Amino acid sequence: MAIQAEEISALIKQQLEKFDTTLTVEEVGTVTYVGDGVARATGLANAMAGELVEFTNGTYGMAQNLESNDVGIIILGKYDDIREGDTVKRTGRIMEVPVGEQLIGRVVNALGQPIDGLGEIKTDKTRPVEVKAPGVMQRKSVSEPLQTGIKAIDALVPIGRGQRELIIGDRKTGKTSLAIDTILNQKDQNMIVIYVAIGQKDSTVRTQVETLRQMGALDYTIVVNAGPSEPAPMLYLAPYVGAAMGEEFMYNGKHVLIVYDDLSKQATAYRELSLILRRPPGREAYPGDVFYLHSRLLERAAKLSDELGGGSMTALPFIETQAGDVSAYIPTNVISITDGQIFLDADQFYAGVRPAIDAGTSVSRVGGDAQIKAMKKVAGTLRLDLASYRELESFAQFGSDLDAATQAKLARGRRTVEILKQPLNKPMPVQQQVLVLYALTHGYIDDVAVEDIQRFQDELIAYVDANAADLYKTIVETKSLPEEADMNQAIESFKATFASSVSDEQE
């Protein structure tokens, strides 16, 4: 029987298709420079931006500057035994980190490796560290509140889920404390928190983790830590790593809060490694793309559309200023990227007004839409009251005769400032905030001595809990204000029992 030519070619084709070569081609380059967390290598002409490369000592690096004859590599780990002339090979993979539920309650480094001594993290899910942020069509406008539990924020500069709100202030003005209190308040709020500590003292981070653990907040929190003693690439990467971990939850329909504490230190680390990579320095010696460093990070915070599950990631980036100067390069950049900013004022902080939120310069451009109705109602005029108080206060210092109306305004202002003070680690649920602010704006606190206000507040909250808890229930369930008559009655009957120590003395 004759064999047909087509049959032979079909057979050969078939065999060819099945032919499986075991030969793998590895692209290997040579290290030409190494130092300060950065290396350069030749011979990796096809490397992708952000691709992982492996050094002979097992350390990984990330390809950065792709130039025609060499690439810059940021080294992700030990580099004291990497030498010029060593080989370095491509992996063909973009850098990814472990993600998923298993990370919750853990402290990890910028590579997602555990550093809390609690053993291995068993997760098989990973996500790329750098991804494109969701586009316009994938987003929805911000509509649900993120309750921080801090009266001055929830009332004056409310934050919505999916928003990016900058926290800015000098060192030691209570920025980190705000973050920790906000995290504590996410308990039972159906939130997952990622706290990214960048260049913070290890002892500080340890204390914060302990606080979170003691208050039960580690049950829903992941801590990513890149300490000041780590190489600059770790500090540069940590925020993106945190964002990748957050995205895993957001894209599964969950709500995430991510805190970047702080991006000034990330920018400094980026400047350092850019200078070593010999990128041209620009303003304040930052490389030209330092704006993009933060914009591509913060764009990843979003409120997703319903088709994508409606999840959200709210970002609270922190910036540390020098002597309150918000017009420096990095602060102005980040101010322009975010949906508002909360200024912490050093003078107020030292005068004992804590949290030291400057109501005049702090804004939230989208959060107001997300405030619950009851809060909107009681907080409506608070901002103006405060602003006019600050103005009057400077007049009043001249000691001129003040008319009754001015005096009343001053008295109310002083009480407003007092009410907005809040001790550490005491976030306040929104229903209690509404009650207290209602009492304030309806004049029930005007005759309480300033020294007694904190006690008045605490006792009022407890009294309503014991005698009129329905009020709280209504606020929580309907999100609107209960009948004013019921509010008034509860507050009046409380006042009848409240012993004001100072006014007793005066009488």
Total of residues contacting Mg ion (CB under 5 A): 2
Report whether 169 belongs to an annotated binding site.
Answer: yes
170 labelled as ligand-binding?
yes
Q: Least distance in Å: CB of 197 to Mg ion? A: 9
CB of 339 to ligand ADP, least distance (A): 21
Cis peptide upstream of residue 355 (ω within 30 degrees of 0): yes
Structure tokens at 60: 């990984």
Nearer to Mg ion, 90 or 175 (CB): 175
Closest CA to 316 of 150, 429, 471: 150
Distances in whole angstroms, Cα of residue 285 to Cα of each of 281, 321, 464: 5, 17, 57
The pair phi, psi for residue 44, each rounded to 5°, is -115, 50
* Residue 354: CB minimum distance to ligand ADP, A: 4
Burial class (CB in 10 A: 0-12, 13-18, 19+), 353: middle
Per CB under 5 A, does 176 bind Mg ion? yes
The bridge status of strand 107-108 relative to strand 71-76 is unpaired
Report whether 32 contacts 43 (CB < 8 A): no
> Where does this chain touch Mg ion (CB under 5 A) — which range of 16-24, 42-50, 173-181, 346-354?
173-181
Q: Does 211 bind Mg ion (CB under 5 A)?
A: no
Q: Which of 40, 175, 265, 271 binds ligand ADP (CB under 6 A)?
A: 175
Residue list 418-447, contact with ligand ADP (CB under 6 A): 422-424
Nearer to Mg ion, 153 or 372 (CB): 153
Query: How distant, in Å, are the alpha carbons of 163, 301, 314, 495 from that of 255?
Result: 12, 11, 8, 40
266 lies in the binding site for Mg ion (CB under 5 A) = no
Give the SS3 label for residue 496: helix
* Closest listed residue to residue 162, CA positions, set 365, 348, 323: 365
User: Annotation-wise, does 268 bind a ligand?
Assistant: no
Q: Is 265 in the site for ligand ADP (CB under 6 A)?
A: no
Residue with Cβ nearer ligand ADP (59 or 147):
147
Q: What's the one-letter identity of residue 197?
A: A
Rounded distance between C-alpha atoms, residue 245 and residue 87, angstroms: 32
Q: Does 208 bind ligand ADP (CB under 6 A)?
A: no
Q: Any binding-site annotation on 324?
A: no
Q: By CB under 6 A, name the one of 162, 174, 242, 311 that touches ligand ADP.
A: 174
Assess contact for 313 and 246: CB atoms under 8 A. Answer: yes
Q: 196 forms bridges with which residues in the sheet? A: 224, 260
**325 appears as a binding residue in the annotation:** no
Nearer residue to ligand ADP within complex by CB, 342 or 490: 342
Partner from Mg ion, ligand ADP, none binding residue 354, C-beta < 5-8 Å depending on class:
ligand ADP
174 annotated to a ligand binding site:
yes
282: annotated binding-site residue?
no
Whole-angstrom distance, CA of residue 245 vs CA of residue 95: 13
How many whole angstroms from its chain centre is CA 337? 14
Closest approach of Mg ion to the CB of residue 236, in Å = 19
Is residue 39 within 8 A of residue 75, CB to CB? The reply is: yes
How many residues at the interface with ligand ADP, by CB under 6 A?
13
Min dist. Cβ of residue 181 to ligand ADP (A)? 8
Quick count: other Cβ atoms within 10 Å of Cβ 358? 21
Which member of 365, 383, 390, 414 is catalytic?
Answer: 365
117 or 423, CB closer to ligand ADP?
A: 423
| Residue 365 is a catalytic residue | yes
Per-residue mark of binding to ligand ADP, 319-358 (x: CB under 6 A): -----------------------------------xx---
Rounded least distance, CB 386 to ligand ADP, Å: 17
Residue 159: partners with Cβ closer than 8 Å, 6 or more residues away:
145, 146, 148, 153, 165, 314, 316, 364, 367, 370
CB of 28 vs ligand ADP, minimal distance in Å: 46
Buried b (16+ CB within 10 A) or exposed e, 52-90: bbbbeeebbbbbbbbeeebbbbbbbbebeebeeebebbb
Q: Which is nearer to Mg ion, 148 or 176 (CB)?
A: 176
Of 71-79, 176-184, 232-240, 300-308, the segment contacting Mg ion by CB under 5 A is: 176-184
CB of 239 to Mg ion, least distance (A): 15
H/E stretch holding 483 reads none
DSSP at 367 = G
**Identity at 350, one-letter amino acid code:** Y
| 225 or 474: CB nearest ligand ADP | 225
Our finding on whether 176 is near ligand ADP (CB under 6 A) is yes
Cα separation of 146 and 157, whole Å? 11
- Of residues 88-117, which lie at the interface with Mg ion (CB under 5 A)? none
- Return residues touching Mg ion (CB under 5 A): 175-176
- Return residues touching ligand ADP (CB under 6 A): 169, 171-177, 354-355, 422-424
Residue ranges at the known binding site for ATP? 169-176
Q: Which residues are catalytic?
A: 365
